[in-house]
Amino acid sequence: MTTSFPSLRITRDGLEPQGAFAVAQAAYLRPDPRTVRELADLCRERSIGIVAHYYMDAELQGVLSACDWPHITIADSLKMADAAVEMARAGMRTVVVLGVDFMSENARAVLDAAGHTDVEVYRVASDPIGCSLAESAESDAYLAWLGEAARTPNSLHVVYINTSLHTKAAAHHLVPTITCTSSNVVQTILQAASQIDDLHVWYGPDTYMGHNLRTLFTQLQTLPDARIREVHPAHDRSTLAGLLDRFHTFEQGACVVHHMFGGDVVRRVREEHADAFHTAHLEVPGEMFELAIEAAEHDRGVVGSTSDILGFIARKVAARADGVGAETLSFVLGTEAGMVTAIVKRVQGLLTEAKNPDLAVEIVFPVASEAIAEAPESELRIVPGVPGGEGCSTAGGCATCPYMKMNTLDALFDVLEHAGEPRLSGFRPKTYAERIAGRTAADLGSEPILHMRYFQTRKAMPDTLVADVHGR
């Protein structure tokens, strides 16, 4: 008989885990106060800021979240780079990036563009911290796909920010390119199509997100023109039909974690948690995405970025804060399990302020309960992740990224203690000194990021990018 998915019930006073996977997650959310103090002292003494992704493991996030040092940020990849700049402006001389390699590269590029070239940036491993999705954009297949885009008039390459600077540079050399995140990709594409006639949009490398975007635009096209204009004022059914005709996606790119949210997992979610709220990252396969988008039509779910998921959960909890009597709001977490740390912190804050003391929140991990590894050296005896080290189980996946888990608490302390020393030279982000069309890959690869920055602040495509599309 299939066991229930693991879950974590959050109250204003504590955590109630069900299933071994959830027990391991919850245990790490109660860090040793001495470790927390040591982290704060090191950062304060050495003027070090830390930016970390939501997908860090629970042990690391638990310590970071409990630390009162103001220059620690846990966020998605775009906000990580923004936070690094804010830390530099506040006087931090070093920024440690906890994530995969493209995140430290992006932070380095954004700091340089903001004039903070003297601020040191470190990863917490000397070995490469890869990403299956980012690596798919380094393939010959991706270059061939971009070659097709380069031969197609009026083409714009919209590349997921979760790629290396080298990818961004090589792509921008072939096709005018702008980066995007899961939270701004819809508006990026709609705005570009509104400014550039007969635009061909080439989205990559995430295949699932590309298919999910097509589903979103197709569903949007079925709405009355007035509803469509609420999403973007320049669009209607006719313009969306044209966009869909000229929307291209790469077919060979996927995140190993989100890939695990497949048909069997979704079948069990439908059977066991039909009354729950459903969340899904834009990168998950169609089955989980469709489940969440069905729920979203009735305000019972959300699809989008990690920030969108966190905001949705917070909104639903806040809406029930003034209720009366025992109530547990259940949310199925359709993304990497490491995000639970940020959820617990936000939810417990809301529950503490709520008038209803009996309100609780249950986070359901749609993964196999047995997707854990034995850890005899640990007091917990188990940790999230299967024994093979891949971070996922074909039984349903443990929804943890094996690359993100290369960032460890011990490695972080090692970097904090030795920042500035020659021994950490291999911990710096890759600089990409090679030249493409007479420019360094780092310089050329930063341009698509700056185009996105312009769009974020002006809500329009930069004139230079529009001219580039028309000129090629």
CA 360 to chain CA centroid, nearest Å: 26
The whole-angstrom separation of Cα 290 and Cα 267 is 12
- Cβ–Cβ under 8 Å, residues 3 and 315: no
Give the residue extent of every domain in the chain.
7-27+256-402, 28-131+409-427, 134-251+434-471
Considering the entire predicted model, what is its pTM?
A: 0.71
pLDDT at 383 over 50: no
Structure tokens at 209: 């997100």
pLDDT tens for each residue of 36-91: 999 999 999 999 999 998 777 777 888 998 999 999 998 877 789 899 999 999 99
Quick one: average pLDDT of 216-220?
Answer: 87
- Name which residue leads in pLDDT, 384 or 428: 428
C-alpha closest to that of 65 among 81, 52, 78 = 52
Cis preceding linkage at 387, omega within 30: no
pLDDT at 429 over 60: yes
Give the three-class secondary structure for 179: strand
Structure tokens at 281: 């990252």
Check residue 91 and give its pLDDT. Answer: 97
Given pLDDT bands bounded at 50, 70 and 90, which one contains residue 382? very low
Given pLDDT bands bounded at 50, 70 and 90, which one contains residue 385? very low
Give the three-class secondary structure for 297: coil
Instruction: Assign domain 28-131+409-427 one CATH number from 3.40.50.10800, 3.40.50.300, 3.60.21.70, 3.40.50.720.
Output: 3.40.50.10800
- Cβ–Cβ under 8 Å, residues 61 and 36: no
Check residue 378 and give its pLDDT. Answer: 35
Q: How would CATH label the architecture of 7-27+256-402?
A: 3-Layer(aba) Sandwich (3.40)
DSSP 364-419: E--S-TT-EEEETTSTTEEEES-TTSSS--TTT-----TTGGG--HHHHHHHHHHT
> How does DSSP classify residue 430?
P
Q: What is the chain's mean pLDDT, rounded?
A: 85
C-alpha closest to that of 99 among 456, 451, 303, 338 = 338
pLDDT at 2 over 70: no
pLDDT at 263 over 90: no
Check residue 384 and give its pLDDT. Answer: 37
Residues near 143 by beta carbon (within 8 Å), at least 6 away in sequence: 170, 174
pLDDT tens for each residue of 86-117: 999 999 999 999 988 888 988 998 898 899 99
Domains 7-27+256-402 and 28-131+409-427 share a fold: yes
Given pLDDT bands bounded at 50, 70 and 90, which one contains residue 391? very low
Check residue 145 and give its pLDDT. Answer: 96
